[in-house]
Amino acid sequence: MIPSSFPPKEEIARLAAGMLLDIKAVHFSADPPYTYASGLKGPTYIDCRKLISFPRIRSVLMDFLTVTVMRDAGLEAFDNIAGGETAGIPFAALVAERMALPMTYVRKKPKGYGRNARIEGAMTEGQRVLLVEDLTTDGGSKLSFVDAIRDTGATCGHTAVIFYYGIFADTIPRLREHGVELSWLCTWWDVLAVAKEREAFDAHTLSEVEAFLTDPAAWRVANP
C-alpha cells in the first residue's frame, strides 16, 4: 500500500540524496577521476544498484518513486510496469507491487534463441507502460527500451528513475522528442548540496565536482 502523504518534491530530493550518501552509493574522486562506459572521464560515480541490499532505505525510495510518478503522470496512467535489463528490474518489481500492476522487463537485445524475445512477462497491445530504471545520464539507453515496448503494440510515454544526472541540457528534450516524459527523485546537484552540508568529502574534491557539474566539457579539457 502507498502511504497517503509524502513530502514535497524538493524534500524528497534532499532525503533521497542523503540516503544515497548514507549507503555509500555516491563516489567522488578528482584525482584520479572515474572512467565511464563512454570512455569519458569525470570525478563522479553513482551505484544505485547498492539500494537492493538496504531494505529500509530501498522501501522509502520506492515509496518516493511511486508517488512521484503518480504526481507527475496521474494515479491511473499505467497498466504495466517494465524494468530495463538489468538494473531496472528490481525497482520495476517494487514499484509494480506498490501500484498493484503487472510487471515485465525489457532485454537490451533479443536473447538469440527460443522466441528471441526482448520483452519478458505479459505485455499486450494497447497497454500503457511505465519504464523504470535506476538512473539516466543523457537518456540515450532509454530510447531502445521504449522502442522495444512500442514494438509490442503497447505505448510508453513515461520513464521513472531514482537518479537523474541533471547536467546535460539535451536529456529531457531528447526524451520528449521521442514522446517520453521523465520522473526522478534526485540529481547530482541535490547530492552535492547534501554532501557539502555534511562535509562528506574534502573541500578540494567538492570544488572539483562542482566545476565538473557546471561544465563537464571544460572540466575534461582542464583534466585530460
* pLDDT tens track for 3-12: 556 899 999 9
Q: How many CA atoms does the CB half-sphere of 118 hold within 13 Å?
A: 14
Cell of 65: 518513486
Q: Does residue 73 form part of some domain?
A: yes
Our count of domains for the chain comes to 1
Q: What is the model's pLDDT at position 4?
A: 58
Q: Does residue 4 form part of some domain?
A: no
Q: Does residue 197 form part of some domain?
A: yes
Q: 202 in helix, strand or coil?
A: coil
Arithmetic mean of pLDDT over the chain: 93
3-state helix, strand, coil in the chain (%, to 5): 45, 20, 35
Q: Does residue 115 form part of some domain?
A: yes
Place of cell 505479459: 122
Q: 1-5, 58-62, 71-75: which has the minimum mean pLDDT?
A: 1-5
Contact 88, 133 (CB under 8 A): yes
CATH number (domain holding residue 146): 3.40.50.2020
Provide the domain limits for residue 44: 9-222
Cell of 215: 561544465
Q: Does residue 2 form part of some domain?
A: no
Q: Is the pLDDT of residue 39 over 90?
A: no
CB contact set of 75 (below 8 Å; sequence gap of 6+) = none
What span, in angstroms and rounded, lies between the C-alpha atoms of 85 and 119? 10
